Chains A and B, each alone.
Chain A
């Protein structure tokens, strides 16, 4: 079969592209399509203008958590071997949470060693949403938040509100 293909070999060349970058793009396009077709309540995500490898997202604080009523902005940066490697996800909105540090970095296993190629933007956002209600207080990035979570919910809520700022960066 290969030998037979050689005479007209050049013929198909225009349609062959480097599959590496196109596969990331294709995958992100299909994710975007899916997000737009089936809007999931409480989360949004959209690429930055002119760069499909950087997205902006928001999650709404879930009910029955100290975060209810706030909307949190996040940034996604996808590596060129996405989905085989996890995207870099940061909270852009200042965040008072046991597993988020002052720079917005997030400690979540599925974004690190537990990453799997079948995860996507939507599943990450849903995981983060549930992390807001169920923090992992065993290995906190923010010790104060981890202590107050059980000890003093009222003060916790006050600090969430104090830290929250609706940043409108661009």
Chain B
């Protein structure tokens, strides 16, 4: 699978890297950041760097036989010149490239194209991804190039013809870029359209104003707000309006309208005043026996003031309790919504966990059965992914056990 040609490329990549590790902060726009790649199947723990938890990039072995990405170990050595796993002292001379087998295994891991979010569906072995982006990925912006054109265009949209050159629209004689021509036709003022009402031809630019005055367009009677249900073509409307009784009565309607609104305003003011006076009217009634006959008029200023104050407070209280009820409603709704959302999320998580569990069972079964039994189609989701995973791992069926062992040893390390 991995012939000698890619291997030599990898070697050159390693030597390039080792010079660049001295200045890792320098931005290199031409270089694809391999750390951001997404792997098609979850990579084997044994192929992951214990520092960055991602598959090794330019794996480096220490003298104590631990493997790290070259960048990761270089960064870790800046802080302490010991192996991050067993604290044995190391220096730069103690580092050597990891066995070519490990390098090949991580380089053959299948990754998604970095332009996947833009639409590229390609998956390639990791060591080919730079070539894919540089040479074949259809979703990379490249120079148009036709006739020296410097505009950028997606590689899968390049053609023999430059889409950036200006062309004349044959209808309005405006200059438009070739690629924008179709969009331009939708709004081109030179192209004519039929008026849907009178069926005559009009240029797009004139059409809008025509529709406002087209004699065949149907319009409602000018007194439709007062109840006239008539809808007629514009040319017949004048005749209708000369006989329409609604139109004749319009001035009357208008006058009534303004009077009603004035009265409503006045009524509102009167009601407010009455509300203030209300306690003054009832108070004497309830106390008639004790009060003097001319009771209503003798209530002194102070009592009146207190009563009106009380009324104010009562309305305030009403308003407050109303807004409290509204707030409570809002909170309850919010709470219910939040609850629903959490529930939905939990269901989603549960299904995800089930999926993972099924994958695990399947993998365990694989391992339990004879190592090279033919692959069986299985039910459930993630079949494709698992197959891809098996392909990527190339039959390292013992990896599960090793992972568990490693976890245990990690725990022992950290317990003081």
Contact = CB atoms under 8 A, between A and B. Distances in A.
Contact of B53 (A1, A2, A12, A27): A27
B84 interface: yes
Contacts, number: 112
A35 to B, nearest CB: 12
B128 to A, nearest CB: 14
A124 B27 CA distance: 34
Contacts of B413: 123
B72 interface: yes
A65 interface: no
6 contacts: A14-B115, A14-B141, A23-B52, A26-B54, A30-B54, A127-B416
B348 to A, nearest CB: 13
A118 to B, nearest CB: 4
A15 B414 contact: no
A50 to B, nearest CB: 16
Contact of B133 (A15, A109, A117): A15
Contacts of B268: none
B413 to A, nearest CB: 8
B78 interface: yes
B56 to A, nearest CB: 14
B140 interface: yes
Interface of A: 1-2, 5-17, 19, 22-23, 26-27, 30-31, 34, 37-38, 83-85, 109-110, 116-120, 123-124, 126-127, 130-131, 134
Contacts of A119: 414
A105 to B, nearest CB: 18
A16 B51 contact: no
A15 B50 contact: no
A8 B51 contact: no
Nearest to A34: B53
Given A15-B114, A84-B79, A116-B84, A22 B414 contact: no
A129 to B, nearest CB: 9
B35 A9 contact: no
- 7 closest A-B pairs by beta carbon, nearest first, are A15-B114, A123-B414, A30-B53, A118-B50, A116-B84, A11-B140, A117-B51
A95 B359 CA distance: 42
A120 B410 CA distance: 10
Interface string B116-127: 001000000000
B152 to A, nearest CB: 7
A26 B35 contact: yes
B32 A12 contact: yes
B239 interface: no
Contacts of A9: 29-30
Contact of B35 (A7, A23, A37, A130): A23
Contacts of A7: 143
Nearest to B72: A117
B134 A12 contact: yes
A1 B53 CA distance: 29
B84 A134 contact: no
Contact of A17 (B33, B79, B84, B152): B33
Contacts of A27: 52-54
B323 interface: no
A110 B410 CA distance: 14
Interface string B304-338: 00000000000000000000000000000000000
Given A11-B141, A22-B36, A118-B85, A85 B12 contact: no
